[in-house]
Structure 1
Amino acid sequence: MRKILFVSLAALLAACAQVSTTAPGTVGVNRPQYMAFSSDSFNRSMASSYSQMMQDASKKNTLNQDPALTRRVNAIAGRLTPHTQIFRPDAPKWKWEVNVITSDQLNAFCAAGGKIAFYSGIIEKLKLTDDEIAAIMGHEIAHALREHGRERASQQMGTQLGLVVASIAIGANQSQMGLAGDMSKYLYLLPNSREHETEADRMGVELAARAGYDPRAAISVWRKMQGMGESQPPQFASTHPSHQTRIADLERYSAMVMSLYEAASKKQRQSTAQAQ
């Protein structure tokens, strides 16, 4: 049995390819990633889940119920998605989809392959400007570009299998296994998730800037989130950076891409003037 498990672990490690899913862009995100699943199979699975979620929302009459808000979110996505080519040349050709779900949730996401959903609550409760919607959307798109979902699934599978093999090798009991699981959570899985969030923040401000949205809006979004007064666990026990850490990092990286925003804004003004 022990031999079989060691062979299984070796096979998993062999299957985990070291890849770089995106180009670094101006913000310089270039961390190597380890993947145990093919991109195509994972994206198909996520697309199926997204489709089912939208069907369920439609049945509940909560899908795209506000035409003006739906047009607004789609227009912002339409400006952002062409600039995904900076990080991934294949991304503009993804089958992008954008939907708005009527819900009080402060949430938005972009599933693998470009499936975007915004909940009306995050826009209405935070009174988001277009720049702030672009900041959130850029962040969520960055998760999809970096394939963070596929990476997390690969990490979790590898960690679980590794713990089982290790427990058999050293004869660990159930209590010791539980402690090892907690250690792997705090020392590996949670820090990696926080790293994913930071990468998405940095890439998100660049996407927004290139599309002509003020990258500093990402800072105001998190100040608004901080002002909501919701409790936040200590950073070491959270999958997200603390608000203070996040805001400080966004201040640095939004400044880094301000020249991109200014160039895009100038181009838009010239285009508007020519159209008139």
Structure 2
Amino acid sequence: MITRFPIDRFASALALLCLLGVAAPGQAQPAAEESKEEGVKVGKMSSLRNLVPEEQLEAAATQQYTAMKQQAQQQNALAPDSHPQVRRLRAIAGKLVPQALRWNPRAADWKWEVNLIGSKDVNAFCMPGGKIAFYTGLLERLQLTDDEVAIVMGHEIAHALREHGRERAAKSGLANAGAKLAGIGLSALLGIDANLTTAATGLGASLTMLKFSRDDETEADVVGLDIAARAGYDPRAGVALWHKMAQLSQSAPPQWLSSHPAGQNRIAEMQKHLPAVLPLYSRAKGVAQQSLPPYRSNVKGIAPVS
């Protein structure tokens, strides 16, 4: 057993201020933009992310992740390496990560890490640079199967691969810069004082608690399905997972659900992409697609997913 970790107190303690310098926008890396093979197709990553140096954001994420682990360990809330659920999560990540690299070549150099924190919160995240954490509340309250864990983990990994956090940081920096520069005369704007630009882009970021746009969440769902299917996990588990979430949220929405759009629209979007990812899953399992049995949830009241 591990002690429960007070996540809300940790979140406020981790309000880390990152001063991110503005870099000139670069060209997107074609290999990272979309899979050229079978599977899902998504658009190019936002060019706004190029305003934030990737190395600085990943360094900030590593710093926050280390602080989180240290505080959790002090409170006996960090599950040890020998914990069965930690071994389970790391085994699943070991299958997902090799399939994730097609979406972002930089991920091959990330120092991937997976940890489990004792908390009743239904939550999980993957920071920039491949720092993954699951909370025990997510595993226990939803009774996640391995396939469903892979769907959640693939979704969170997709946020990091598609650099949604970097894009959000850039947008925050632009908003801060706009507010700063709005009070400066037009001549100063045309002159572009470098000191003003650097100061304006200072922003606070708690990378464990990022809330992404609806489009980002949909993209992470779709890319996560692709990654899970290639790794041999049933992508139809995503439909069952969100039915479980709907059951859980009838009383009070969990933290992970409140920061992610849910409901029938989300399930419908997953179902729309199943024809693109089921061939990947059947190939990974070494069976014909027509021979795949329906996915059956381990919770009553959720219909099998064909």
Q: For the superposition of Structure 1 and Structure 2, which TM-score range results when normalised by the shorter chain?
A: 0.7 to 0.9
Deviations 1:37-86 (A, max 9, x none): 11011101101100110111111111115711111111100110011122
1:19 aligns with 2:35: no
Deviations 1:134-172 (A, max 9, x none): 0000000001111111110101111232245457679xx
CA–CA distance in 2 between the matches of 1:240 and 1:77?
22
2:285 match: 265
1:202 match: 222
> Alpha carbon RMSD of aligned pairs, Å?
2.6
CA–CA distance in 2 between the matches of 1:32 and 1:97?
24
Letter matched to residue 129 of structure 2: G
TM-score between both structures, scaled by the size of structure 2: 0.69
The answer as to whether partners of 1:18 and 1:32 remain within 8 angstroms in 2 is no
2:61 match: 46
> In structure 1, which of residues 137, 146, 149 is the aligned counterpart of residue 165 of structure 2?
149
1:211 aligns with 2:227: no
SS at match of 2:116: strand
CA–CA distance in 2 between the matches of 1:207 and 1:195?
18
- Cα 1:115–1:208 shift into 2, 3 Å: same
SS at match of 2:111: coil
- Cα 1:67–1:191 shift into 2, 3 Å: closer
Deviation at 1:27, TM superposition (A): 1.4
1:86 match: 102
Deviations 1:212-260 (A, max 9, x none): 000011111111111111556xxxxx86334222111111113321000
Stretches (4+) displaced over 4 A: 166-170
Query: How many residues were matched structurally?
Result: 232
The answer as to whether partners of 1:98 and 1:116 remain within 8 angstroms in 2 is yes
- Using the TM superposition, name which of 86-95 and 127-136 deviates more: 86-95
> Equivalences for 1:1-276 in 2 at 5 Å?
15-17=24-26, 19=28, 22-25=32-35, 26-33=39-46, 34-35=48-49, 36-65=51-80, 67-166=83-182, 193-228=213-248, 229-230=250-251, 240-266=260-286
- Cα 1:239–1:53 shift into 2, 3 Å: closer
CA–CA distance in 2 between the matches of 1:241 and 1:17?
31
Any stretches of 5+ residues in structure 1 without a counterpart?
1-10, 171-189, 233-237, 268-276
- Cα 1:222–1:19 shift into 2, 3 Å: same
SS at match of 2:126: strand
Letter matched to residue 33 of structure 2: A
- Cα 1:112–1:230 shift into 2, 3 Å: farther
CA–CA distance in 2 between the matches of 1:138 and 1:207?
6
SS at match of 2:133: strand
The answer as to whether partners of 1:193 and 1:239 remain within 8 angstroms in 2 is no
Letter matched to residue 59 of structure 1: Q
Any stretches of 5+ residues in structure 2 without a counterpart?
1-20, 187-209, 288-306
TM-score between both structures, scaled by the size of structure 1: 0.76
CA–CA distance in 2 between the matches of 1:70 and 1:231?
27
Letter matched to residue 87 of structure 1: W
Letter matched to residue 267 of structure 2: I
Deviations 1:166-197 (A, max 9, x none): 57679xxxxxxxxxxxxxxxxxxx99711111
1:6 match: none
CA–CA distance in 2 between the matches of 1:103 and 1:118?
9
- Using the TM superposition, name which of 84-93 and 15-24 deviates more: 15-24
Question: In proportion to residue count, which structure has more helix?
Answer: 1
- Cα 1:198–1:155 shift into 2, 3 Å: same
